[in-house]
């Protein structure tokens, strides 16, 4: 296994309300030195759930993404509140964004987003045994709820309004988990 680079120095070079930009001076095990930039965000854990009404029907939400300036079909997700367990956060986000609670949550994977320059990580969970339940959320407008068949996942992923890599990966992971259960 390779030896991790030594961090020689870090400097905050810019800051906004949500992000900081940090320069990181590194020395690699072969002696090479480089300066990298990374977004410095607070280490707020996040969760995303793949809610299933049944073995074939996933619940999605349509939400505005200011980064792309477009509405996107996505999965319920959000930050954990202070001291909140990922399971509680997943169920809360599901109720706030899609109007469902769940009785069963299965951890799928922890994923990163652009680890070359961000520290963000998100826990992905499969949410099953859904029941109608709504909690007030922090969204500025009501979110549209859309259901889709996992058997037609390739058509969903081909849509212009489905392009977040974490969402696509989570949907394929959920489909595979369900397929393995059916085969067992």
Q: How do residues 117-170 score in pLDDT, each as one tens digit?
A: 777 889 999 999 999 999 998 888 889 999 999 999 999 999 999 999 999 999
For the cut 80, the answer to whether the pLDDT of residue 19 exceeds it is no
What's the mean pLDDT in 14-19? 81
Please check whether residue 81 is in contact with residue 156, taking contact to mean a CB–CB distance below 8 angstroms: no
% of the chain exceeding 70 in pLDDT? 98
Residue 178's φ and ψ, nearest 5 degrees, are -65, -40
pLDDT at 42: 66
pLDDT at 165: 93
In the structure, what pLDDT confidence band is assigned to residue 89 with cuts at 50, 70 and 90?
Answer: very high
Provide the 8-state DSSP code for 161: T
pLDDT at 1: 57
pLDDT at 2: 82
**Sign for the pseudo-dihedral over CA of 173, 103, 71, 155:** positive
- The mean pLDDT value of the chain amounts to 92
- Least confident range of 39-43, 50-54, 75-79, 84-88: 39-43
């Amino acid at each position: 296994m390779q030896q991790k680079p030594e961090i020689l120095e870090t400097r905050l070079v810019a800051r906004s309300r949500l992000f900081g930009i940090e320069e990181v001076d590194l020395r690699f095990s072969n002696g090479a030195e480089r300066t990298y930039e990374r977004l410095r965000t607070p280490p707020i854990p996040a969760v995303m759930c793949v809610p299933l009404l049944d073995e074939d029907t996933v619940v999605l939400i349509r939400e505005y993404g200011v980064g792309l300036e477009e509405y996107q079909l996505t999965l319920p997700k959000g930050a954990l509140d202070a001291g909140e367990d990922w399971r509680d956060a997943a169920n809360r986000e599901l109720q706030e964004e899609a109007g469902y609670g769940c009785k069963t949550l299965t951890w799928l994977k922890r994923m990163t987003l652009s680890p070359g320059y961000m520290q963000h990580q998100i826990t992905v969970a499969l949410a099953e045994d859904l029941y109608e339940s709504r909690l007030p959320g922090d969204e500025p407008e009501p979110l549209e709820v859309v259901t889709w068949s996992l058997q037609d996942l390739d058509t969903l992923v081909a849509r212009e309004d489905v392009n977040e890599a974490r969402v696509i990966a989570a949907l394929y992971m959920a489909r595979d988990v369900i397929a393995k259960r059916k085969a067992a």
